[in-house]
Amino acid sequence: MMNKIITDENPMVPFLGKLKYVRDLGNEIKLLGVELMDGGALAFSEYHPGQFAFVSAFGVGEAPFGIASTPARSGILEFAIQRLGTVTTELHRLGQGDVVGIRGPMGNCFPMHDFAGKNIILLGGGIGGAPLRPVIHTILDNRKDYGHFTILWAARHPSLLIFTDEYEEWRSSPDCELHLTVDHPDQTWDHNVGLITELLAKVAPSPHNAVTITCGPPVMIYYVNQVLNKLGFQPEQNFVTLEARMHCGIGKCGRCNLGDKLICVDGPVFKMTEVGQFLESYL
């Protein structure tokens, strides 16, 4: 039995959710499937690719994560969580049936409607691939609405690649290509070796009628954009989602600013033209 006593809608108090499943996605990376209770199911009946939510490990704290699922595919809210700090360590300790807290959905989203009819190049690095999975699912589930789809998926090591069980679906969808690369291969690895920037230069997608979507560490975003510029992409064609260790998600705690922008309410999705106009660099 669980209940939450609140006087009114309070954005700081999470909805309660039960872990429906916990799966290993990679080394120290787990997929948490959350079934929302009380008002949460209603609040999350609609959310969009690129949005994020806070996940509470009650007793330790909460942290923001890009939502890795789409409401079209599942009523279960999914998060890919890499064990990095105290909250993620506690979340990794939890199992099926345990209760977590969820606040959200928060932030803006990828303008999927504006991407209609366009060729899409998606670049995911490591755990940065998590908030891009809803973009992939949305495109695959509405395949005719979008043009050619190129996925470049990277990690430092094969054990850190996420959603490996979906690669077959991604690459076998019509007009889709999937390219994988790792910095440090193991003996079983038979795909590309090297940085995602090298892979991007090799695949060399055309900028014609295309948009790019990138999520990964800041240094990856920086060098990916250099390669995209060389390939002829204009900054307004390139979309990124940025990360910060936010605390409130509603523009109050001050933690996520870059210049006068707040990643939580002005982002996390930005066009590179906007990022270029930030007074402060994300690097």
Partner 1 sequence: MTMITRSALFRWLDEMAEELPLIAPSYVEGILLYRQVSKSSEVAMARERPVLSPKEVFFPSTEVLFTINKNGDKLRLNETLPVKEQVVFGVKACDARGLSSLDAMFIDTAPADPYYAAQRKLTTVIGMKCKEMGETCFCTELGLSPDDPSGVDISLAEFEEGFDVQVMTQKGLDLLNRYLQDGADFYIDRSPLSGCTDATQPTRVVLPEAKTFPLLFEDAMWDEVAERCLSCRICAYACPTCRCFDIRDEELPASAGERRFERIRCWDSCTRNAYRRTAGGHDPRAGKGERLRNRIYCKYYYFPRRYGQLSCTGCGRCIDLCPVNIDITEILRRIVEVRQFP
Positions touching partner 1 (CB under 8 A) are 1-8, 10-14, 16, 56, 58-63, 82, 84-85, 88, 97, 99, 101, 127, 217-219, 243-245, 247-248, 250-255, 257-260, 262, 279-283
Minimal distance, residue 16 CB to partner 1, in Å: 7
The token pair that represents 96 in the structure block: 């099926």
Minimal distance, residue 152 CB to partner 1, in Å: 19
User: Among residues 218 and 232, whose Cβ is nearest to partner 1?
Assistant: 218
Local structure of residue 173 (DSSP, 8 states): S
Q: CA of 200: how far to CAs of 71, 75, 134, 180, in Å?
A: 31, 34, 22, 11
Calpha distance 201→198 (Å, rounded) = 5
User: Among residues 18 and 271, whose Cβ is nearest to partner 1?
Assistant: 18
Q: CA of 118: how far to CAs of 47, 76, 96, 150, 173, in Å?
A: 22, 29, 40, 11, 16
Local structure of residue 14 (DSSP, 8 states): P
Minimal distance, residue 128 CB to partner 1, in Å: 9
Please list, in sequence order, all residues whose beta carbon lies within 8 angstroms of the beta carbon of residue 95, skipping any fewer than 6 positions away: 19, 22
Lookup result for tokens 């090298």: 198
- Residue 172, SS3? helix
Minimal distance, residue 243 CB to partner 1, in Å: 5
User: Among residues 59 and 174, whose Cβ is nearest to partner 1?
Assistant: 59
Nearest to 18 by CA among 101, 106, 74, 79: 101
- Residue 155, SS3? strand
User: Among residues 69 and 82, whose Cβ is nearest to partner 1?
Assistant: 82
Minimal distance, residue 117 CB to partner 1, in Å: 34
176-182 and 192-193 as β-strands: parallel, antiparallel, unpaired? parallel
User: Among residues 139 and 275, whose Cβ is nearest to partner 1?
Assistant: 275
Minimal distance, residue 47 CB to partner 1, in Å: 16
User: Among residues 146 and 153, whose Cβ is nearest to partner 1?
Assistant: 153
Q: What is the CA radius of gyration of the chain?
A: 18
